[in-house]
Amino acid sequence: DTGVSQDPRHKITKRGQNVTFRCDPISEHNRLYWYRQTLGQGPEFLTYFQNEAQLEKSRLLSDRFSAERPKGSFSTLEIQRTEQGDSAMYLCASSLQFGTGVTGNTIYFGEGSWLTVV
């Protein structure tokens, strides 16, 4: 499978614990995005990387949220001191910055990582 891969798919954690999600983008894609989705809502943009540079992070929900993409390949999203309100699906996506052909720079999503904070 050459799509966007996310791990773990499901995580249950106790309030106050830290959690980390990993995303492996489509191999040639230089942009990587993180979104959050709660039940009944559309995805909400959090942050994105172009290669290893994090170009937009003002939408991260609080300073408990951080993301890295150290070598411009995979990325991690960490949530520190989790709260029950952090329970959601965390989506990773990737794209080319400039694409050609039929799909161009379409953004492709992974299957998501479900977080439940108890």
Partner 1 sequence: DAKTTQPPSMDCAEGRAANLPCNHSTISGNEYVYWYRQIHSQGPQYIIHGLKNNETNEMASLIITEDRKSSTLILPHATLRDTAVYYCIVRGYSNYQLIWGAGTKLIIKP
CA dist 70 and 89 (Å) reads 23
**How near is the Cβ of 31 to partner 1 at its closest, in Å?**
7
Please give the single-letter amino acid code of residue 89. M
Residues 61-100 that bind partner 1 (CB under 8 A): 89, 91, 97-98
DSSP letter at 111?
Answer: -
Residue 16 interacts with partner 1 (CB under 8 A)?
no
Residue 42 interacts with partner 1 (CB under 8 A)?
yes
CA dist 42 and 11 (Å) reads 21
Tell me which of 24, 44, 52, 68 binds partner 1, using CB under 8 A. 44
Tell me which of 18, 81, 104, 116 binds partner 1, using CB under 8 A. 104
Residue 116 interacts with partner 1 (CB under 8 A)?
no
Instruction: Specify the 3-state DSSP secondary structure of 46.
Output: strand
Residue 38 interacts with partner 1 (CB under 8 A)?
no
**Are the C-beta atoms of residues 94 and 84 closer than 8 Å to each other?**
no
Residue 45 interacts with partner 1 (CB under 8 A)?
yes
CB within 8 Å of 2: residues ≥ 6 apart: 26, 27
Contact residues toward partner 1 (CB under 8 A) are 4, 6, 31, 33, 42-45, 48, 55-56, 89, 91, 97-98, 102-112, 114
